[in-house]
Chain A
């Protein structure tokens, strides 16, 4: 069981990280927080956004604040799996076959336009995301910890792309979008000499070691039974909605619990409340839902369906324990 002292230490850390990242990515604290939640929960993030909204900046700022390594992979149709994971090469100096790590060997990996790569390359990345090791020539090579993949996807301009199948979307803990900044924030970014986008200036406020230590501890945060029951009824709600071909899987609900734990701790609480669940339900669950064809044609989005489910399922009533 995690206590209040530990939680307030985490909240400070989370706030520091957030502040550091925000110095480079202006006015997107909520998205920054979500990405940090995914990192502490040991998951990965899918950003769906048009180019130029700061996806890369965000990923690199997180890496910078973490004090770890960040790499970027631009996915193209001719990208090979070994280009992502790394490969064995002959070292002429030593005369031995040596493993040369690919770009996934970093604390923060930015997989840009993941849907442009061929399916087998996508699979290679997703496998690393799940397994956290790269196996080449029968030898496993562990990726560093913490390991956060931030994949981006361009929702427009879908010609010649390979849509991620549902099973693979499920591998992403969160899906969100950055979106355009508000007018004030945009002015701030546009002003010459502003610190926005200067990754080099992002201070390293923690160490990868500290982050992975917290990550393990946070899974012990208290979740009361009524909250678990509430999460379960949310799952039932999505499964029984007529507009959905596929509701949330049990893995999706587990992920929701995990995210809610980190989210609650980030708010400085050593327990989860229904509001936490509601706040992160959309980024955690919406990309796991599959609409029926009719709903797609009717222009319904999974976020709308999920919002309906949230407004339909009663929250657990406060009662004395």
Chain B
């Protein structure tokens, strides 16, 4: 019975800790039971030796597992090194051996101590409670409290421990349960409050940052376009665009990717906050033909199952320093920003994001072209839609077009005379770059993403080929995040096409033309149609009230009510009820009389009131036709006072809410 209880406590604690890893539940669940191995061993050798043996075995195993990750390190440091390794790893950490080691060792130690202590009497409650608290706090620290947002797991643990002291440990633990439960409640509160205060163990460790000089992948687009059907990668999961790299710096000559990368999941937030409406997407990817260091991902990556993947927190670009290998399989979980068009219509852009509007030495023609094209647009979204249309019109995709995204190449692309190489023709590189430069010219924070278009599913897999490679610009809207636009000619469709057409219709009807292009001369692609306004999204929920604060309070109130109702019931039950009240008090004071002791024998110990009450009780219980009895409750109250005076302070502190009498028959 008590072993089942300690196993339950350990499992809850371990599985809670396992949430700091990605898919570590099985390992941690097994490790939680390691203490029982020590128990078996303790039949052969003294318990202390058995515990030591299990812990040493676990450490040896951990050493061997961690050795693989840092073979050149001094052996003494290998195990110690796993902790900073874990703290700088992605969050949740991938379930690789060297990252699992610290958690497994912790659990094995706690489990061994808890199980062996339960095997002995006396400390049965204390060590499991301490162990559970250690596991819980570790989990809270590793996940900054995200593993147990509302404190429900903590509540479950407290209840479980309370059960232990009710059901398992009849003889009373060495440490008073009240002290334990108070400490546990305090720890719980602390653990839940901590992330709000911003304590973060990862700040104690400097994450390694790697500089990577990776070639700009934009020119590669032309090469991929030429390769056509060559298979690059396969993916399983929802139909979402695959992102390879995000380019946010523009020098006037070319786009550049970020050059410093850190481990995934470290503290640094992106420079511009994520939008208010997001959805999670998780895809399994397998590299088949793709080369280079960029690791394909989806959305803003939250977790990657590769331990050596690194990320640029601002753009979410993933790299693998060793380069991609054919056959590499991994899972990426990312966040996609999914604002509705109606959300964007009135959205503003942040003025401080100068990094995304920087255009060194912008030629006048490009700036003027952008201003004219967006002259009638009221909002940033209308400007973006207008520019998308302007770039798209009269230009054709051409895989053979000259590569490049310098100002000169873009001027040729936009304004070049027919016959000139690359005039009005380009790959996705030119379309996306042109849009990005024009958008930046009118103050929209813009960046360029290189990736792959969503492809249809075949036999459960999506095969991404070289011809699917593309580039698209993204504009940042305050509160909604990065929104993709598609200026590539010929793509007039998509989920947001209708609202964009509505914008374009209105722009065209109110205005005349900007000079260099034929924006107004172009007839609307479709007749204006009534566009059903999307459901307006609910305002992003503010700080939800922390209702978990009340769970302990509610628990206490509930216990108090239950105890009071028991007392009322007993009071109505005459002398026998009064006697049960005395027995309740004795139990609360930690003095459970032996069941073989008689009522007068017990009552005598508590003075005259006890002796008198005992006479009444015996009469009520054993006399024939017990008549009207004398008032017995005041006597019971006197005895209760006497018992309570003798109890220790902590028993008096929880006197009114101690649930143990509720379980007594």
Identify the A interface with B (CB < 8 A).
1, 222, 224, 226-227, 269-275, 278, 310-316, 318-321
Contacts and interface: CB of A to CB of B under 8 A. Distances in A.
B601 interface: yes
A275 B603 CA distance: 12
Interface in B566-623: 573-577, 579-580, 594-601, 617-623
A318 B574 contact: no
14 contacts: A1-B624, A222-B624, A224-B622, A226-B621, A271-B622, A273-B598, A274-B618, A275-B600, A278-B601, A311-B594, A311-B596, A313-B596, A318-B621, A320-B574
A224 B622 CA distance: 5
B626 interface: yes
A275 B596 CA distance: 10
A189 to B, nearest CB: 30
Contacts of A316: 621-622
Contact of A310 (B575, B596, B600): B596
Interface residues of B, number: 24
Interface string B617-656: 1111111101000000000000000000000000000000
Contact of B600 (A1, A271, A273): A273
Interface in B332-352: none
Nearest to A312: B596
Contact of A318 (B594, B595, B601, B620): B620
A314 B622 contact: no
B599 A274 contact: yes
B624 A273 contact: no
Contacts of B619: 269, 271
A320 B624 CA distance: 12
B621 A319 contact: yes
A278 B598 contact: yes
A315 B597 contact: yes
Given A318-B576, A320-B574, A271 B594 contact: no
B576 A315 contact: no
Contacts of A269: 618-619, 623
Nearest to A315: B598
Contacts of A226: 621-622
A269 B596 CA distance: 22
A70 B210 CA distance: 114
A310 B601 CA distance: 13
Nearest to A4: B623
Given A227-B622, A274-B599, A319-B621, 14 more contacts: A222-B624, A224-B624, A270-B624, A271-B623, A273-B622, A274-B622, A275-B599, A311-B594, A315-B598, A318-B579, A318-B618, A319-B576, A320-B576, A320-B620
A314 B602 CA distance: 14
A274 B623 CA distance: 12
Interface string B413-435: 00000000000000000000000
A273 B574 CA distance: 18
A230 B597 CA distance: 12
Interface string B150-188: 000000000000000000000000000000000000000
A321 B618 CA distance: 11
Contacts of A313: 596
Contacts of B597: 315
Most buried by A among B576, B617, B621: B621
Given A312-B596, A313-B596, A318-B617, A272 B622 contact: yes
Contact of A315 (B577, B580, B595, B623): B595
Contacts of A224: 621-624
Nearest to B580: A318
Contact of B595 (A227, A271, A314): A314
A301 B527 CA distance: 112
Nearest to A320: B576
Nearest to A272: B622
A109 to B, nearest CB: 35
Given A271-B623, A275-B601, A314 B596 contact: yes
A269 B615 CA distance: 10
B626 A275 contact: no
Interface in B372-410: none
A226 B620 CA distance: 13
Contacts of A320: 573-574, 576-577, 620-621
Nearest to B574: A320
Interface in B222-277: none
Contacts of B576: 318-320
A3 to B, nearest CB: 10
5 closest residue pairs by CB, A with B: A314-B595, A318-B621, A271-B623, A273-B618, A222-B624
Contacts of A274: 598-599, 618, 622
A312 to B, nearest CB: 6
Contacts of B620: 318, 320-321
B573 to A, nearest CB: 6
Nearest to B622: A224
B247 to A, nearest CB: 82
Contacts of B575: 318
A46 B604 CA distance: 32
Contacts of B601: 275, 278
Given A273-B618, A311-B594, A318 B623 contact: no
A154 B619 CA distance: 41
Contacts of B621: 224, 226, 273, 316, 318-321
A123 to B, nearest CB: 39
Nearest to A321: B626
Contacts of B626: 321
